[in-house]
């Protein structure tokens, strides 16, 4: 019989050595480095798809509006003498206000007061909330900043500074319209009205003007499948867009400036704000999708355009009546 006091043989516990542990950590780090870009790419692909679906809904809304009204919604409802900043009883909002019933937002549309300045004074009766504070999910691209008010970002008008103005990532297109600065627009002589200030359409290159005008399908002579109606924007990069989805002076964008021109503050390649390069790039289409932005054509289809697209070709897509052949892009 073995004495109770006799010690049992010592068994060595299996464990990682320091070198083995470092090797495992290195392998895990390499795997993460390989997988992370793929995960980020998959997430961006999902966000881009959601953004495309938002644009498809807006394209469908445009056509349903056209069926009812025999033209697209007015670029913005304000009249001469124009008041872009201060409240005015003739200001009744951007084209998106008119589209509200066609994007399943009838309740918000019903809360809009069209007897006064619609953006400033429309209120939800049951809560007292201003309509201009309401975020509409289908107007937001998930790749961008998200639901961020810019109460101090717009230094243009003291009347809107401090207001919580919900923004949009989608805007209408004036096409190759005249601007000052480096990109002057009016490539084909069809958009001579400065900043799209025309209520007749005779001096507007694209489908919408800065004022109370928008085209009928019959006026899109280049064909609805060859002409941009709407595109993506980034409020961070546009003083005007920071005034929100309702404002008459917020969404008058154009193809005049190249896609994704780098005028966004605190981002790589930042150039400068107006007036040094003019207003064209403040009102230029851009997105957070790598390499380009998405657009709705007048036939309701959605297309991704690369930021390296030939400039003149991009202007052809923006113009509704240039009568030039569009090259492959």
Domain boundaries, the chain: 53-318
User: Average pLDDT in the 220-238 region?
Assistant: 96
Which distant-in-sequence residues (6+ apart) come within 8 Å of 207 by Cβ? 72, 172, 173, 174, 175, 214, 215, 220, 227, 228, 229, 298, 320
What's the sign of the alpha-carbon dihedral 258, 263, 266, 268? positive
Between 14 and 87, the more confident residue is 87
Stretch among 6-10, 248-252, 256-260, 276-280 having the lowest mean pLDDT: 6-10
pLDDT at 152: 64
Q: Provide the pLDDT for residue 31.
A: 75
Peptide bond into 122 cis (omega under 30): no
- Please state, rounded to an integer, the average pLDDT across all residues of the chain: 88
Residues in the chain: 329
What is the per-residue pLDDT for 301? 97
Q: 205 or 153: whose pLDDT is higher?
A: 205
CB atoms inside a 10 Å sphere around CB 28: 10
Q: 161-214 pLDDT, tens per residue?
A: 888 999 999 999 999 999 987 899 999 999 999 999 999 999 999 999 999 999
pLDDT band at 145 (very low <50, low <70, confident <90, very high): confident
Please give the order of strands across the beta sheet that includes 170-173.
252-253, 170-173, 228-232, 292-297, 302-306
Residue 81: which pLDDT band, with cuts at 50, 70 and 90? Answer: confident
Report the pLDDT value the prediction gives residue 111, as an integer from 0 to 100. 97
Quick one: pLDDT at residue 309? 97
How confident is the model at residue 269, as a pLDDT? 66
- Residue 160 reports pLDDT greater than 60: yes
Q: How far apart are CA 53 and CA 98, in angstroms?
A: 20
Of 309, 308, 260, the closest CA to residue 288 belongs to: 260
Tell me the percentage of the chain whose pLDDT exceeds 70.
87
36: part of which helix (H) or strand (E)?
A: helix 18-69
State the average pLDDT over residues 279-304.
95
**Residue 153: band (very low, low, confident or very high) from pLDDT cuts 50, 70, 90:** low
Q: Give the model's confidence band at 272: pLDDT under 50 very low, under 70 low, under 90 confident, else very high.
A: low
Least Cα distance to 213 among 186, 191, 240, 237 occurs for 191
β-partners of residue 228 are: 297
pTM across the whole model: 0.85
pLDDT for residue 208: 98
| Confidence label for 18 from pLDDT (cuts 50, 70 and 90) | confident
Mean pLDDT of 103-112: 96
Report the alpha-carbon distance of residue 119 to residue 133 in Å, rounded: 10
pLDDT surpassing 70 at residue 129: yes
Max avg pLDDT among 80-84, 261-265, 274-278: 261-265
Across the range 304-319, mean pLDDT stands at 97
């Amino acid at each position: 019989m073995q004495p109770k006091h006799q010690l049992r043989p010592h068994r060595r516990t299996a464990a990682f050595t320091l070198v083995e542990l470092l090797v495992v950590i290195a392998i895990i780090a390499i795997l993460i480095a390989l997988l992370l870009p793929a995960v980020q790419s998959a997430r961006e692909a999902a966000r881009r798809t959601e953004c495309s679906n938002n644009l498809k809904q807006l394209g469908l809304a445009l056509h349903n509006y056209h069926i009812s009204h025999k033209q697209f919604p007015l670029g913005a409802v304000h009249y001469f003498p124009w008041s872009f900043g201060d409240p005015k009883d003739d200001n009744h909002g951007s084209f998106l206000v008119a589209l509200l019933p066609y994007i399943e937002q009838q309740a918000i549309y019903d809360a809009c007061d069209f007897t006064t300045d619609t953006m400033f004074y429309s209120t939800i009766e049951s809560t007292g909330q201003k309509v201009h504070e309401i975020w509409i999910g289908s107007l937001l691209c998930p790749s961008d900043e998200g639901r961020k008010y810019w109460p101090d970002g717009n230094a243009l008008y003291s009347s809107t500074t401090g207001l919580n103005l919900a923004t949009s990532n989608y805007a209408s297109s004036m096409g190759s319209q005249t601007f000052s600065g480096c990109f002057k627009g009016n490539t084909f002589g069809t958009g001579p009205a400065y900043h799209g200030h025309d209520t007749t359409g005779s001096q507007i290159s694209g489908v919408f003007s800065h004022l109370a005008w928008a085209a009928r399908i019959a006026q899109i002579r280049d064909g609805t499948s060859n002409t941009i109606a709407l595109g993506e924007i980034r409020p961070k990069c546009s003083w005007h867009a920071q005034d929100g989805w309702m404002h008459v002076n917020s969404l008058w964008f154009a193809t005049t400036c190249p896609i994704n021109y780098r005028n966004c503050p605190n981002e790589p390649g930042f150039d400068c704000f107006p007036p040094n390069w003019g207003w064209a790039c403040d009102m230029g289409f851009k997105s957070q999708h790598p390499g380009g932005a998405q657009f709705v054509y007048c036939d309701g289809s959605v297309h991704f355009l690369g930021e390296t697209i030939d400039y003149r070709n991009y202007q052809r897509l923006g113009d509704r009546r240039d009568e030039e052949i569009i090259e492959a892009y």
